[in-house]
Amino acid sequence: MYLHRLQKIKVGERALTVYLPPSYDQGQEAYPVAYVHDGGNLFMDCLNYLEHLYAAYKLSGVILVGVESANRNDEYTPWPAEELIKTWPNFGGKGPAYVQELADVIKPYIDENYRTLPEREHTAVIGGSFGGLISLFALYWRPEVFGNGGLISASFWYEGVLAYVQEHPLPSTVRVFMSIGKNEGIYKQNIQKNMVPYTMKAHQWFQSALPDGELLLAVDPEGTHDPLFMARQFPEALSWLFERRGRKVHETDHGEGENKPHQIQGTFSFLRNSERTGRQYRISVAEPMAPPPEEGYPVLYMLDANASFGTFAEAVRLQTRRPRGHEPAIIVGIGYDSPDAMVTPDRFIDYTEPADQDKMPVRPDGSSWPENGGAEEFLHFISEQLKPEIERMYSIHRKRQSLLGHSLGGFFALYAMMTRTELFQQYIAASPSIWWNDQALYGHLDRWLASRQASHEPLEPVGCMICVGSEEKENMLDGARAMAKVLSEHQEHVDVHYFEVEGEGHVSLLPAIVSPILRYVSGHRKP
């Protein structure tokens, strides 16, 4: 039991709760320390789980110090502000004095009376809500003391905070864990409704200030602003802040600290269900490392995120680095909650229009074609749910949005171009399945061209890239070449760019075209 390792003490008038890791009594080793606001509620609410992580060798030892406050609305706010409820007292703005006490009184006492690693890189300050806010300002005001910050559902909505963050880059020496629930603030009518968008904006600015690998954003797609969801984030924050500072793994860790899944910096994912069909999608987002250009970020929406999102996310991080990189862009991957790279049954449903079975070729194994024909519903999900959500989260360049699909996804990209042209400005079809449904795309093309020619308004040509590998099957090559040729005859309506990649097949084409696609998305029409 951990009760003997849970101590209640006082430093001056300040009450503290100290939790010592299981290995503390087993030797003379020194430990990092995390100072946790609100009396340590974040760790007290999940102590049994922390004990489990220690027993399973999934967490290295950390001393946790819960720091109580008699008035969090005063002590956890950086400056005075009016209360959101008129009958309540105003926010006191006594955060500077609280942080000074934490750094100059409480921390020295803990370092003197416990076996700690006192250096800033081994010292964290963590909190939820207003506790997350004051943790942020501890990093601003005393970075020589606090090298790590856990900003769990931090109150970035507080008056003046976002402007402060924009104008004051974080010290480049700190390490920051952020978390937010996608449902935080959505039912508020006051300034708290900005919980999610302000957190996302702050994260973008932090990315510009901090070195690669020193910032992590965790997004809970179902999270609300509650102790339940904040406590869930605490173990991840604790582990991430202390496991990757070059610190030696404790002997009791059995090497677990070095056996972490690879994570691409600046990416996160969440689940979304279509409101019309109930079908579920895993959405993955790669955020830019730089602030948005004046007109907003270009965006690439890509299908088959299970297979290729990581490749594109890593590439865009490298190729948009300043001073000579491309313009920063957002990658939005649309995939499925599955470990498979190609989730075949779902792809057939979402990427195709209904097929006439009599016009379809015989499958190699003689089996019938899978359920198909959900392209219209999938387009509704993208247009009515996904794109508006991304546009609420980020500053988006409304005239620089692209859709990428491969194989059946390439069919879908061309289908979307011909039936819902206004959704994107550029459509990228890699190895498109022109053969689907007896080449029904040509019927859509005829109707699309006729509609544009009948328009009384001048229309900008739509950007279209078609690419294919030289080693693909003849019907794939012939289909891509023929479609590109027909489109090229209508340059007043479609600005088409076609190319073949020498030596690449149907699957190997994808990594070979990452750079041409990123150049295309960033504004260079010719790949």
Cα 277–chain centre separation: 25
SS3 readout for 388-446: HHHHHHCCEEEEEEEEEEECHHHHHHHHHHHHCHHHCCEEEEECCCCCHHHHCHHHHHH
Residue with tokens 């700690």: 116
Which token pair is 79? 């400056």
- CA 473, 474, 475, 479 torsion: positive or negative? positive
Residue 163 φ then ψ, to 5°: -65, -40
Of the candidates 432, 441, 425, 452, the residue with the CA atom closest to the CA atom of residue 523: 425
User: Could you count the other beta carbons within 10 Å of the beta carbon of residue 460?
Assistant: 9
3-state secondary structure of 177: strand
- Scan for tokens 């974080």, then name that residue: 170
**How far is 316 from 332, CA to CA, in rounded Å?**
12
> What is the SS3 assignment for 303?
coil
**Long-range pairs of 50-54 with CB within 8 A, sequence gap ≥ 24:** 50/235, 50/238, 51/2, 51/22, 53/235, 53/239, 54/21, 54/22, 54/23
Q: Would you name the residues annotated as active-site residues?
A: 407, 472, 506
What DSSP state is assigned to residue 241? H
Distance CA 393, CA 466 (A): 30
Helical packing angle, 514-521 and 305-319, nearest 10°: 70
What backbone torsions phi and psi does residue 127 show, to the nearest 5 degrees?
A: -165, 165
Q: Of the candidates 481, 413, 494, 411, which has an alpha carbon nearest to the alpha carbon of residue 451? A: 494
Question: What are the Cα distances from residue 22, in Å, to 35, 39, 162, 169?
Answer: 18, 20, 40, 38
Identify whether the C-beta of residue 306 lies closer than 8 Å to the C-beta of residue 340: yes
